[in-house]
Chains A and B, each alone.
Chain A
Amino acid sequence: MAQTTTQGQQHPISLYLKIWGLLFVLSALSYMVDYYHFEGLLRWSLIILFMLMKAGLIVSIFMHMAWERLAIIYAILLPPGCLLVFMGLMAAEADYTFVSRLLFFSQ
């Protein structure tokens, strides 16, 4: 792979510092969710929102996915979509198990 030796991801340091700062802020915000005892739907949606923003910044900027070609972006980022299906299946199954346990233990 001689042709790839000269290529590399070169981006200004200031970009990394900005993302670093942003990740700090987002982490602080997600910690605040716990610190101020947000509950219920608000808590869960805030947790998910901050988590996805942090993950997105890490993958796109720090791991340079934003500058890769679509061929590898889709090859890497699409398969984890299966995990959402898996999660849905297990959540439905867990619900069933929970209800069965409630019925069984109450006897």
Chain B
Amino acid sequence: MPDNNRSEQSDHTVTGLPGMVNDWASDKDAFKQVSWGKAMMWIFLLSDTFIFSCFLIGYMTVRMTTTEAWPNPSEVFALTIAGESIPLILIAIMTFILISSSGTMAMAVNFAYRRNRRATASLMLATALLGASFVGMQAFEWGKLIEDGVRPWGNPMGAPQFGASFFMITGFHGLHVSIGVIYLTIVAMKVLRGDYERTGNYQIVEIAGLYWHFVDLVWVFIFAFFYLW
């Protein structure tokens, strides 16, 4: 291994583990080919991962420790459509909506790098619209559960911790979706107005996309652990 070349290899040509060692050992930025904006979004998302994980682990703890029966989510979240009770149907629809919004967002990023402003903005606005409908359905869900007597301190179906976990976890996730809708709408407007034409740098769309995909990612875990378990 020619060691005398090591200092010259702080460029992006070395990949794999040697590349990682070089990146972290280099004088300046450790994250080559990643702009500061993108790196900071990733670090923010990492911190958010810890917040949501603490909520989910807290939920796990109260569910494991309660001596009362945990309400069956399959029945709690069932909807009666055309006289038939379908388990968990609204949650399933919400899942599909959020996945679709991730799909439109991924395509928006693609069009942004091709500098197709109209397609980018309309796909982002479609994403925001899907996100808004998700929040609307969640509001409906909350309303239904509150009507059924679910409160953060108790509910008629069983373990009182159910309400606390439900409102905190879905509430915090819904807040993320709502903020994402606002965030995407602002960036879409700026794209449409041509704010990024001067620099030609459309990475801001990819960074906004990272946030949106993360919101979808969190829902995958909430869906699995809270609704299906």
Q: Is the interface of A mostly helix, strand, loop or mixed?
A: helix
Q: Are B228 and A72 in contact (CB under 8 A)?
A: no
Taking Cβ atoms with an 8 Å cutoff, the residues of B that contact A are: 12, 15-17, 19-20, 23-24, 30-36, 39, 42-43, 45-46, 49-50, 53, 57, 60-61, 64-67, 74, 87-88, 92, 95-96, 99-100, 102-103, 105-107, 109-110, 112-114, 199-203, 206, 209-210, 213-214, 216-217, 220-221, 223-224, 227-229
Given contacts A5-B200, A83-B50, A51 and B61 within 8 Å (CB-CB): no
Which residues of B have CB within 8 Å of A51?
220-221, 223-224
Chain A-chain B contacts (Cβ-Cβ < 8 Å), number:
172
Q: Are B34 and A4 in contact (CB under 8 A)?
A: yes
Top 6 A-B pairs ranked by shortest CB distance?
Answer: A20-B103, A94-B64, A71-B23, A70-B20, A51-B224, A8-B113
Q: Is the interface of B mostly helix, strand, loop or mixed?
A: helix
A-B pairs with beta carbons under 8 Å apart, 27 shown: A4-B34, A4-B203, A5-B201, A8-B112, A9-B109, A11-B110, A16-B107, A19-B103, A23-B102, A27-B99, A33-B228, A34-B87, A34-B228, A43-B228, A47-B224, A47-B229, A51-B221, A58-B102, A58-B213, A59-B217, A62-B213, A69-B19, A71-B19, A71-B24, A72-B34, A94-B64, A101-B65
